[in-house]
Chain A
Amino acid sequence: MTIVDDSTTPGLAEPPTGHGPRRDPAPLLPDPRPVRVLGTDAAAAFDPGLLHELHRQLVLGRRFNQQATTLTRQGRIAVYPASTGQEACQVAAAMVLSSQDWLFPTYRDTLAVVARGVRPIDALTLMRGHAHSGYDPYTHRIAPLATPLATQAAHAVGLAHAARLRAAADPASAEDLVALALVGDGATSEGDFHEALNFAGVLGAPVVFLVQNNGYAISVPLARQSAAPTLAHKAVGYGIVGRLVDGNDVLAVHRVLSEAVAHARAGRGPVLVEAITYRLEAHTNADDASRYRPAGEVDAWRARDPVTLFERHLRDVGLLDDARADAVARAAEELAAHIRAQFDAAPAPDPGSLFEHVYAQPTAQLREQAADLAARLALEADGTDGGAA
């Protein structure tokens, strides 16, 4: 094929309004080899205090996932999408953020919410079925867990943009905040994901998108989801930086996310990070993963368990001995016992709450409906036949 050289044809070489090619894509392109830190010289750069904290969080996180899964078997949690196998992403996502930052989690990310400081019982309120969200988003700077896929990504962009608007309008109250949106691999196919990245790029908003690519959207493997070279490559189409990281290497995730957050905070624009990981459990307790993935595949990923990989590293460099491992294991058991106790002590939800907070002020119609339910409940409490009327 001959490509015509039109550079000498008047009127064709340069579009007069400058909406031709606008930037060099090279700096945005992700390295297709995922960033790894464990087993490399880069691991030595980490402060031992941080390493111990990461380890503690990983072990507690694993125990949290196990305890929540057990509670589904006991019928005390309606549904739990475990992040077992993805703890490196969950823990790092929470730990790289500062107090002024915001986290936008999905249903998969209860552990990240707990790692950022929410009480486990409150983080699990949605899954317990008591209320749609159990924590104060403003206290923790965590949006409610989002279930409609990728919708939360645009919220993160809007919030980050709003913070910059406020900073421009009123420098005294400026907060150098970054919003971190968590997304699954399947959710990257949603229009809202595309729109959020596009808005982030155009607005230059301080947002980081972390795609936890665990290979599946319920049963559908990534190959059916996207023909992109990597999901991180999607960044380039929006003029934002893409990065690819080994999601089971907690040091790599921590480093790449820290750099992405610093990049966004410095006003250099959004970053899309893809972390390649695996969920070792089914999609939720209601799912049967054996219908769509072979046991051998799961075993291969168990051999790359993020907790085990990290413990091996810590022992290799002399930062973990049996005494420390035992102490952390005891802390994990205490967490599990604490969660069980919180579940035992939690009051039943109040039916009166159904009509609260639909609007700032209830409408006349809602007041009527609330009175109707209250009257029925009063009749039931009296032991009278409430259905007679």
Chain B
Amino acid sequence: MSATTTRRTTGPTTSGTTMVAALNAALRDAMAADPAVHVLGEDVGSLGGVFRVTDGLSAQFGERRCLDTPLAEAGILGTAIGMAMYGLRPVVEMQFDAFAYPAFEQLVSHVAKMRNRTGGRMGLPITIRVPYGGGVGGVEHHSDSSEAYYAHTPGLHVVTPATVADAYGLLRAAIASDDPVVFLEPKRLYWSTEPDPIAEAGATGAGEVAPIGQAVVRRAGTSATLLTYGPSLPVCLDAARAAEDEGLDLAVVDLRSLVPFDDETVCAAVRATGRAVVVHEASGFGGVGAEIAARVSERCFHHLAAPVLRVTGYDIPYPPPMLEKHHLPSVDRVLDAVARLQWEA
């Protein structure tokens, strides 16, 4: 069953489709298409998850296919590993970014390594959905950006949608992948809407799902290139619009997939302008932005008019909600970085 034939389950409404609804549709369609797909996690059953991403799945597919588990993240992921060993395709929901940490050992020591340690005989097609990031007024432990931990672990794919269409397409791709995928859902964008994103996601052409590992240029530009992903994409698009007033034409690249990393699209977009700023919410030190800046410098050095800059969260524990706006990359901080790209030289 293809994505386009099943997408009617959660169709676009007049007010548009939210990212939550698109994720829900992706799960529903994946479960309808493949009986091996099983959802498990905390409160994913009758409640539909604390963000309602699994809404209605246990009613439609039964409690066996959408299982409310005991409250134990290592147990959830460990159980999912055993299920995947037996040929199922588990989709695990971690309730929040910071509450995925108890599962870290299972993720790093088993999920990421099983294919390699068994000489390719035992792959684990597990999707681990993690709502992540701040900007939602969450009290502590509800706003972490944990992507660097995952991206630093060979054997995992790490993807994060920034649009409603990608939320659908990338989640279908993650579930279809024979490799484990950490699927980071930007909480801040859960309630953002698009007119008919699922039709768009279904219309990618080649297959029924968007491919993992491809960045996309969201906005072409000639002055400088903003490299970003997930919750920071709207910030960068706003910054690009604001920069127009200053006569700057900024390109914006949405990475979508941190692992595998699309060097080709990123480097082409940087070479086209000769200037780059990496923007993400996570702390800067040792972050994904550091890797991107290094890769761009190594590959595009002779095209660069200025050092690659980063706009990131500060190197502090995630702040309390009343102060988070100072921590998060803002349009102003992005524009300030752009202004420092040695224009006069």
Contact = CB atoms under 8 A, between A and B. Distances in A.
Question: Do these two chains interact?
Answer: yes
16 contacts: A131-B117, A133-B117, A136-B118, A144-B117, A148-B105, A154-B77, A159-B83, A161-B83, A166-B87, A169-B35, A192-B106, A195-B70, A195-B74, A356-B119, A360-B123, A364-B263
Return the 4 tightest CB-CB contacts between A and B, nearest first. A158-B82, A154-B78, A195-B75, A132-B117
Contact of B86 (A151, A166, A198, A365): A166
Interface in A193-212: 195-196, 198-199, 202-203
A158 B123 contact: no
B120 interface: yes
Interface string B120-147: 1111000000000000000000000000
Contact of A158 (B80, B116, B121, B179): B80
B120 A191 contact: no
A351 B211 CA distance: 30
A138 B122 contact: yes
A2 B64 CA distance: 47
B316 to A, nearest CB: 29
Given A157-B79, A158-B80, A357 B115 contact: yes
Contacts of B35: 169
Contacts of B77: 154
A359 B106 contact: no
A202 B110 contact: no
A236 interface: no
Interface residue tally on A, bucketed by range: 35 or more
B115 A155 contact: no
B261 interface: yes
B148 to A, nearest CB: 17
A42 interface: no
B260 A357 contact: no
B75 A199 contact: yes
A163 interface: yes
Contacts of A154: 74-75, 77-79, 81-82, 106
B64 A168 contact: yes
A131 B120 CA distance: 12
Given A151-B110, A199-B69, A357-B120, A165 B115 contact: no
A158 B154 contact: no
B82 A156 contact: yes
B50 interface: no
A135 B129 CA distance: 31
Contact of A137 (B118, B177, B213): B118
A114 interface: no
B115 A158 contact: no
A196 B74 CA distance: 9
Nearest to B180: A359
Contacts of A377: none
Contacts of A357: 115-116, 118-120
A104 to B, nearest CB: 8
B271 interface: no
B109 interface: yes
A352 to B, nearest CB: 13
Contact of A161 (B79, B117, B122): B79
Nearest to B124: A155
B182 to A, nearest CB: 13
Interface string A333-366: 0000000000000000000010011111001110
A198 B75 CA distance: 9
A86 B304 CA distance: 65
Interface of A: 131-133, 136-138, 143-144, 148, 151, 153-163, 165-166, 168-169, 179, 191-192, 195-196, 198-199, 202-203, 353, 356-360, 363-365
B216 interface: no
A288 B277 CA distance: 55
B70 A198 contact: yes
Given A133-B119, A155-B78, A364-B263, A192 B105 contact: yes
A359 B179 contact: yes
Contacts of A144: 114, 117-118, 122
B67 to A, nearest CB: 9
A169 B122 CA distance: 23
B72 A195 contact: yes
Given A132-B118, A144-B114, 12 more contacts: A137-B85, A154-B79, A155-B78, A155-B85, A158-B79, A162-B82, A165-B64, A192-B106, A357-B116, A357-B119, A358-B115, A364-B263
Contact of A163 (B86, B118, B122): B86
Contact of A202 (B70, B213, B259, B264): B70
Given A199-B70, A365-B263, A157 B116 contact: no
B172 interface: no
A213 B119 CA distance: 32
Contacts of B79: 154-155, 157-158, 161, 199, 203
A360 B115 contact: yes
A165 B123 contact: no
Nearest to A203: B79
